[in-house]
Amino acid sequence: MPKTDLFNSTNQENVIVVDINDVIADVNQPRKMFDKNALTELASSIKEHGVIQPILVTKLGNKYQIVAGERRYRASRLAGLLSVPVIVKDFSTKERKEVALIENLQRQDLNPIEEAYAYKSILEEFGITQEELAKRVGKSRPVITNSLRLLTLNPAVIDMVASGRLSAGHARCLASIKQMSVQESYAKACCDKQMSVRSLEVMVYNYLNPTKKQKRVKEILSTELKDLVNDMQRVFGTKVKVIGNNNKGRICIDYFTQDDLSRIFDIVNAMKKGKNR
């Protein structure tokens, strides 16, 4: 069904007023986070002017399930309204998801992670291609692909993006790094140092492309020494590298934030206490 058909329901004759307690939210709607201050401001406006734009709903038994407009619904409850204006339409499950996604995208209400999960849900549930989804929501296919890449990140990094601490641009840079602990360390460094996307790109490039000299050194390291470095990386949760060869050299432990340094300090202290027992 074309997008215009889904939204073309704003004629006044389609609007009815219903008990606010008969309106229910859709637990599967893409938007999960609602700013409390923004809701309070909207509630104040609704107290003074009422709900100017009706809530789009579909009939579900003796209730009305929200398809688009949950923010207005929440603010109306906060304002103490007993009833709200709604537009009732019949939607299939697919259409409900699509309308909710498009409405939030058009209003820029979704954070990057909510948007990515919404795309993933539609792709998996309805078996359409990224190309088809891109056409439905008015985006390019690379935009959909890059959005979905965010969901491959370390869960801690995903939380940083969802909360607004880390931008989607920064997060996409980190998706090239496979080691989850390094992703998290770099993400924290970006937040703490307010690093630009370009600076992070350089940092990630250097991590993924060590110098030729470093590559030659790695090639002659024994299996035992390589295993030691891998074990240290897992224990300390950060990048560890060897400078030298099997006979002599240095083992370097990187830290990118104060949290990294504190974690390394705590691990070494725990090892010392264990040895003294």
Which residue is catalytic, options 13, 70, 95, 103? Answer: 70
CA distance 80 to 57: 20
Per-residue HEC secondary structure of 155-195 comes to HHHHHHHHCCCCCHHHHHHHCCCCCHHHHHHHHHHHHHHCC
Contacts 24+ apart (CB under 8 A), 165-172: 165/191, 166/190, 166/191, 167/197, 168/112, 169/197, 170/195, 170/197, 170/200, 171/112, 172/146
How far apart are the C-alpha atoms of 142 and 130, rounded to whole Å?
9
Count other C-beta atoms under 10 Å from residue 120's C-beta.
Answer: 15
Give one word for 50, left, alpha or beta, with left for phi > 0 and alpha for psi -120 to 50. Answer: left
User: For residues 152 and 71, is the Cβ–Cβ distance under 8 A?
Assistant: no
* Largest CA-CA distance found in the chain, in angstroms, rounded: 85
What is the Cα–Cα distance from 144 to 121, expressed in whole angstroms? 12
Check if 70 is active-site: yes
Q: Sheet containing 55-60: give its strands across.
A: 15-19, 83-88, 55-60, 63-68, 23-24
**Residue 180: phi, psi to the nearest 5?**
-60, -40
φ, ψ for residue 33, nearest 5 deg: -110, 130
- Return the active site residues: 70
